[in-house]
Amino acid sequence: MLEVEIHQITMGRDGSSERCLILRPKDHEDRRVCPIIIGSNEASAIAAVSNDPPATRPMTHDLLLNAITELGGTVQYVYIRGLNKSTFFADVSVRVGEDVIVLDARPSDSIAVAVRARVPIYMAEEVMEQVDNDLQGRRSAEEASRRGAREREYEEATTPVTPEQREKLSAFSEFMESLSMDDDGEEAAK
């Protein structure tokens, strides 16, 4: 298990209501990131914990945490355990007495509970590796696409040299080689 933290929450593309929750390893030497697309309500629920003053009425995630606490439980941690296509899977680990109950939940809801309970967020190493490989593959494909576009632009901007132009260039090159200049740019006496 890899402990992660919230790096940032960004706006979605093209004015959509989606947000991107970006997680990164708590060990900052590890430069990988894990972007998770979430809805604006979930993003607000996660961000609301750091806002001052706190909400006057409990939100859904506050209600869940309050229910767990009132029933004698404590949230232990959140675990992002899987990724299938673009869907992440997570668990909320709750201790009640000697028992540990694992609740299946969306990562956004799990993280909203974790920030309220101030508990660690973990991610399966395989999930981080898969996301990192996908991101590296996308970057490589985008870079190859940009490189191909630049090459096409260059090819379109340049025209082949005609035999007549090549002949003129050859004559000019011969003329330049026949000149002899001294250091001041003056033609040297032969």
CB-based contact 25:120 (threshold 8 Å): no
Share of residues in the chain with pLDDT > 90 (%): 44
Name every residue whose Cβ is closer than 8 Å to that of residue 187 and which is 6 or more positions away in sequence.
179, 180, 181
- pTM of the complete model: 0.68
Between 70 and 151, name the one with better pLDDT. Answer: 70
pLDDT recorded at residue 174: 76
Task: Return the CATH fold of 2-137.
Answer: Bifunctional nuclease domain (3.10.690)
| 25 has pLDDT over 90 | yes
Confidence at residue 168, expressed as pLDDT on a 0 to 100 scale:
73
Cβ(4)–Cβ(127) under 8 Å?
no
Region of 104 on the Ramachandran plot (φ > 0 left; ψ -120 to 50 alpha; else beta): beta
Q: Is the dihedral of CA 145, 151, 154, 158 positive or negative?
A: negative
Query: For the chain, first and last CA: distance in Å?
Result: 81
Write out pLDDT tens, residues 166-190. 777 777 777 777 776 665 556 555 4
Of the listed ranges 23-32, 82-91, 149-158, the least confidently predicted one is 149-158
| Average pLDDT value for residue range 98-127 | 95
Which stretches of the chain are assigned E, i.e. beta strand?
2-11, 18-25, 34-39, 73-84, 87-96, 99-105, 121-123
State the helix-helix crossing angle for 40-47 and 107-117, rounded to 10 degrees: 10
Sheet holding 99-105, edge to edge: 34-39, 18-25, 2-11, 121-123, 73-84, 87-96, 99-105
As a whole number of Å, the CA-based R_g of the chain is: 30
What amino acid occupies position 48? A
